[in-house]
Amino acid sequence: MAPQTPILDKFLGSVAELVQSRDGGKLQDFLQIEPPLSEIYQRMIEELRQRYQPGPRSDAELQQRCETLVPRTKGSSSWSAFPTFMRLYFSFLRDVNVENLLETYNMLRALLNQCVLALGDSQNGVVVLPTVLYLSKVLAKLAMGLDRQPELIAHILRMEGGADREDNAEKVTLVEQSANVVREAFIKCLTDRSGTPGPNGKPEGKRMGIYLMANLCLKLLFKCGKLRNAEQMFASISAQSPPLMHFPASQRVTYLYYLGRYLFANNLFYPAHIALQAAYEQCHRQAFKQRNLILTYLIPCNIIMGRFPSKALLQRPEAQGLAEQFEPLCRLIVRGDYLAFREYLSYESQQGQWFARKGILLTLRNRCEILVWRSFCRKVFIHGGFLGDPQAQGARGPPPFLYLHKLLVATNWLQTRSKMSLTNGTNHAPYTSAFGSQIISHPTDPDYIGLKDRLNISTNGTNDDHKLMEKYGDYLAPTAFFDEGGYLENNASGELIDGVPDSDYSDYSLDPYAEENILESQSALLMGELESILASLLTQGLIRGYLTHRNPRFAIPGARLRGALPTGFPNVWETIGTRESEDDSVPGWVKPAPAMLGGSALAGIGGRVVNLSGARPVGLQ
């Protein structure tokens, strides 16, 4: 006779009751999987091992017992995915070997997959929603732990991929795999059609889980660096989710944090700052760690748009550790020293490492340097520009202007200054790189190292020729070669087979950098770069006026009323904020439809979000 299973029987009975009463929370509480399991579970596992030893026949028997868990309506099982899930759950308890994390991960993923299938049921799916969330979290934790152990990952990837799988196939990490399962659950929640779906609906039924699943999925996508995959999620949320405000604060704050970071990563700083600011304002004031993380992205977001964190903000307890990173950055922007700025944000610097770990280093580098240049130009203008004649009456007299020559001198001074600080005070000339940018000096690419000696070619040409022949003689002067007709020609005398450059090519210039006066051309190069920077500032609205190219100047017309500085160098935040606030909607953040639009008005357009803020009644001008 088969062994008795009193605990399992009781367990199944309770599960059946919970399904009937649709108590999803309690059901999840019953379906424990994480060790250490309490004694009663250990005893049930013992029963399972004795009564249902692994094998197709016992699986079928176990399945049969699980079939009774769901109500049979009109003869057919109404929710077939659930019994299968329960059978997998029991198999998981019985077979899992937590010593083997990979196997555990795979079993758990299969279990979650089946649970997500059960979630898909339009009537009963909602009962397993808490269980889906629970299993997803355990899976996420396991996957993130495993991805930190590359030697174990290599093993599973090889097992799964087989021998034919080459390196060119994109490897999917376990974290990304888990994100994909969680996304399935998210879609099931989002597309629940019961009650009032869409942006006018309330979080009811499975829709209660939209942001729980979305947040977990986003966490995993951020973890595996596949932010791009989140784009579709945000689009679906925009199209189908009830307004975010109807969800609990913890879900709102977490979601707005990830949304803000996603927008930040896509260089959409204005909407990102709205989302992150809202996350900060709605976050529990004692949740220091979360508030700290939100500030870690809210602050750079604002700095990029010309708004610096105040002392008061940086002194808040949750801002711990942020002041020492961001305050020097702000000071460098104000000062206008682009070289010190670059040094601060170099990967080698301590702060550079910190910014890199937070994933904001490159964004700060790329977006803040223009602000540094604005400050620098402004200072050069103050101390070296023509600020306008306050005595001049009427509109006569030239507008305030700055000779760019002064900017060039000041840039050279900065370069000298920076070199001096690097070499402990020894005086240095400004950069004299013969090629490329005059603004910054790059270490020479090893391939072009020979170019450094360009100025000396004529004086020690023969020496260079020797070196060249030593290295490339077999190519330039081989002992034999094929001529144009394809005949072999001997070249015993070792002539240069393509001819002698100086005599045979004297009519052509082979030197792309052939310029007469190297020093003059260098300052012309630098001037060209400075003009580009100013033009960039102009097109971004960060300075106002016009540039002249011949006799290079930056002029600030119309400054009589407000003065040269406020006119020529308008406030950065006002400029960017005014421009961006024309559209203050945040993609991915569903807000309630305006009150004037009833539910019926939206029903006709399939629940899509349409921005009607600019709409006017028909017939009005």
- Applying CB under 8 A, the residues found at the interface with another protein are 99-102, 141-142, 144-146, 148-149, 151-152, 154-155, 158, 219, 248-250, 253-254, 257-258, 281-287, 289-290, 293, 302, 306-310, 312-313, 316, 330, 333-337, 357-358, 375, 378-380, 382-384, 405-406, 409-410, 413, 417, 565, 569, 571, 573-574
Three-state DSSP state, 73: strand
Q: Which is nearer to another protein, 9 or 574 (CB)?
A: 574
CB of 468 to another protein, least distance (A): 41
CB of 364 to another protein, least distance (A): 16
Count other C-beta atoms under 10 Å from residue 616's C-beta: 8
Three-state DSSP state, 32: coil
Q: Which is nearer to another protein, 307 or 560 (CB)?
A: 307
CB of 43 to another protein, least distance (A): 25
Q: What is the DSSP string of 477-543?
A: S-SEEE-TTS-EEE-TT---TT--HHHHTTTS---TT--S-HHHHHHHHHHHHHHHHHHHHHHTTSS
Give the span between the Cα atoms of 541 and 544, in whole angstroms. Answer: 6
Q: How many CA atoms, within 13 angstroms, populate the side-chain half-sphere of residue 607?
A: 19
Q: Which is nearer to another protein, 7 or 101 (CB)?
A: 101
CB of 287 to another protein, least distance (A): 6
CA dihedral 323, 326, 327, 329 (to 10 degrees): 160
- CA proximity to 553, closest of 432, 321, 384, 352: 384
Q: Which is nearer to another protein, 389 or 574 (CB)?
A: 574
Q: Which is nearer to another protein, 465 or 574 (CB)?
A: 574
- Token pair of 617 as six digits: 């009644």
Decide: residue 178, CB within 10 A, 0-12 exposed, 13-18 middle, 19+ buried: buried
Q: Which is nearer to another protein, 285 or 452 (CB)?
A: 285
Q: Which is nearer to another protein, 265 or 287 (CB)?
A: 287
Decide: residue 356, CB within 10 A, 0-12 exposed, 13-18 middle, 19+ buried: middle
Helix (H) or strand (E) holding 401: strand 401-403
CB of 408 to another protein, least distance (A): 10
CB of 447 to another protein, least distance (A): 31
Q: Which is nearer to another protein, 223 or 454 (CB)?
A: 223
Residue 195 DSSP one-character state:
S
Give the span between the Cα atoms of 540 and 579, in whole angstroms. Answer: 10
CB of 249 to another protein, least distance (A): 5
- Token pair of 264 as six digits: 């930040």
- CA proximity to 191, closest of 116, 113, 88, 96: 116
- CA proximity to 12, closest of 52, 67, 78: 67
CB of 51 to another protein, least distance (A): 28
CB of 406 to another protein, least distance (A): 6
Residues 6+ apart with CB under 8 A from 562: none
CB of 109 to another protein, least distance (A): 15
Q: Which is nearer to another protein, 11 or 258 (CB)?
A: 258
Q: Which is nearer to another protein, 533 or 542 (CB)?
A: 542
Give the span between the Cα atoms of 352 and 566, in whole angstroms. Answer: 33
CB of 448 to another protein, least distance (A): 32
- Token pair of 555 as six digits: 């002029």
Residues 6+ apart with CB under 8 A from 449: none
- CA proximity to 62, closest of 28, 30, 90: 90
- Token pair of 370 as six digits: 């223009």
119 to each of 110, 115, 168, 348, how far by Cα in Å?
14, 6, 35, 49
**Which amino acid, 153?**
I
Give the span between the Cα atoms of 294 and 276, in whole angstroms. Answer: 6
CB of 547 to another protein, least distance (A): 20
CB of 479 to another protein, least distance (A): 43
Q: Which is nearer to another protein, 149 or 423 (CB)?
A: 149
Backbone angles phi, psi at 488, to 5 degrees: -75, 130
Q: Which is nearer to another protein, 371 or 609 (CB)?
A: 371
Give the span between the Cα atoms of 236 and 608, in whole angstroms. Answer: 10
Q: Which is nearer to another protein, 87 or 261 (CB)?
A: 261
CB of 496 to another protein, least distance (A): 46
CB of 384 to another protein, least distance (A): 4
Q: Which is nearer to another protein, 563 or 587 (CB)?
A: 563
Give the span between the Cα atoms of 442 and 437, in whole angstroms. Answer: 8
Q: Which is nearer to another protein, 161 or 473 (CB)?
A: 161
CB of 192 to another protein, least distance (A): 20
Q: At what angle do helices 101-119 and 129-147 cross, to 10 degrees?
A: 150
- Write 407-416 long-range contacts (CB < 8 A, 24+): 407/376, 407/377, 407/380, 407/530, 407/534, 408/523, 408/526, 408/527, 408/530, 410/376, 410/380, 410/384, 411/439, 411/526, 411/530, 412/526, 414/337, 414/338, 414/339, 414/376, 415/339
Residue 169 DSSP one-character state:
S
Q: Which is nearer to another protein, 124 or 567 (CB)?
A: 567
